[in-house]
């Protein structure tokens, strides 16, 4: 593709990644709060669960936006995909986020395994986000003047 600079696209990606990390942090805090309340058999604020779900939905949307930006930007710049480890790291994060969201939807007293899958996935997602952040930094360096 013969397109103008993709710098604007990378700015959107940088903001999206920063907001994704913030969402992950907020999900960790709110999820830990819900876990602690459940363990202590105490009530939690009524807004906490909807906040956790809404923040999770925002994370899913941001990660899918980042996937789209990565595909468009890479195709636009190189004409093909999979030029670095960032491709693998990015797909790993997409799969982990979708697995986390899917398991969250399934959590109920009859499916105790879903909560375990959700928590384990989010612990692995920490590593995935670190990996995609590090590999993303090296990719961004290729595009900077």
Q: Where are the domains of the chain?
A: 7-143
pLDDT at 3 exceeding the cut of 70: no
Interacting residues of 126 by C-beta distance below 8 A, sequence separation 6+: 24
Average pLDDT over residues 102-107: 96
The whole-number pLDDT of residue 114 equals 97
pTM for the model stands at: 0.90
Residue 141's pLDDT band (cuts 50, 70, 90)? confident
Q: Are 60 and 101 in contact (CB under 8 A)?
A: yes
Instruction: Determine the pLDDT at residue 80.
Output: 83
Architecture of domain 7-143: Up-down Bundle (1.20)
């Amino acid at each position: 593709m013969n397109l103008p600079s993709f710098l604007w696209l990378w700015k959107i990606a940088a903001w999206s990644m920063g907001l994704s990390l913030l969402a992950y942090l907020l999900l960790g805090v709110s999820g830990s709060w819900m876990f602690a309340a459940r363990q202590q058999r105490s009530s939690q604020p009524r807004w906490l669960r909807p906040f956790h779900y809404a923040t999770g939905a925002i994370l899913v949307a941001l990660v899918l936006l980042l996937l789209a930006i990565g595909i468009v930007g890479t195709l636009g710049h190189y004409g093909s995909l999979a030029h670095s480890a960032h491709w693998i790291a990015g797909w790993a994060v997409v799969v982990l986020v979708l697995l986390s969201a899917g398991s969250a939807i399934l959590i109920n007293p009859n499916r105790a395994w879903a909560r375990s899958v959700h928590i384990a996935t989010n612990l692995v997602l920490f590593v995935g986000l670190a990996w995609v952040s590090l590999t993303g930094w090296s990719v961004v360096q290729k595009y900077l003047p």
